[in-house]
Amino acid sequence: MVWYEAEVRQLEDKFRTLPSATDRVVFYGSSSMRLWTTLAQDFSEVNTLNLGFGGSTLAACAWFFERLLVPAAPQSVILYAGDNDLGDGRHSEEVYLFFCAFIEKMEMYLPDVPLTFLSIKISPVRWNIADKIRLANELIKQEVQKNPDFQYVDMTTPLLGSNGQPRQELFEKDGLHLNPQGYRVWQQTIQQAQIFNNLLIPQPL
């Protein structure tokens, strides 16, 4: 976990410049979160906070939970991770167990805070582990369905073409990270899932 330390410290410093708030929707996870530079504009209806850190695994997200998520005091958590775990050779079942460890910390430190898991994408460079990604997603989906405060959003299928393979035009040249068009697809998918509906406070007339 030492590899992530510098970036985690930068995120911790970020808290010191933020005003206190009780309505933050925290986007947490790997570089797919960190590189979402239009996040605040894409979801202007909520108070977003991007706590993605590059290269992070689902295991790392659980490891740094107390240092990053707890101080953020989120009203809701949106999690994307697991991509790098599988890319590093972890088994689907291991990724599922890392997710279970993350859930344990949610229940311990942030009880009653809604959690949305964004399913692991299948990218062109990781097409060779597509079956492992699908299995990890299915195992996590089954776990999510056990808790009424948790939600699973399929972010995988919208990035696939009619042939079932990743749409190259939605990814950067590295074949791993999303480009602006890909993030647009993700934005629309999240909006269609209506995960913010119960967070929005009607404005007085």
Q: Which residue in 59, 70, 69 sits closest to 30, CA to CA?
A: 59
Mean pLDDT check: name the lowest of 11-20, 91-100, 116-125, 128-137: 11-20
The answer to whether residue 36 is domain-embedded is yes
Q: How far is Cα 103 from Cα 111, in angstroms, rounded to an integer?
A: 10
- Render pLDDT for 107-124 as a digit per residue (tens, 0 to 9): 999 999 999 999 999 999
The answer to whether residue 176 is domain-embedded is yes
The answer to whether residue 51 is domain-embedded is yes
The count of structural domains within the chain is 1
Q: Where are the beta strands (DSSP E) in the chain?
A: 24-29, 47-52, 76-80, 115-118, 150-153
- Residue 22 burial by CB count (10 A; 0-12/13-18/19+): exposed, middle or buried? exposed
The answer to whether residue 65 is domain-embedded is yes
The DSSP symbol for 61 reads: H
The answer to whether residue 15 is domain-embedded is no
The answer to whether residue 93 is domain-embedded is yes
When pLDDT is cut at 50, 70 and 90, the band that residue 202 belongs to is very low
The answer to whether residue 11 is domain-embedded is no
When pLDDT is cut at 50, 70 and 90, the band that residue 18 belongs to is confident
Task: Give the residue numbers spanning the domain of 120.
Answer: 22-193
The pTM (predicted TM-score) of the whole model is: 0.93
- Render pLDDT for 80-95 as a digit per residue (tens, 0 to 9): 999 999 999 999 999 9
The answer to whether residue 141 is domain-embedded is yes
Which CATH number characterizes residue 117's domain? 3.40.50.1110
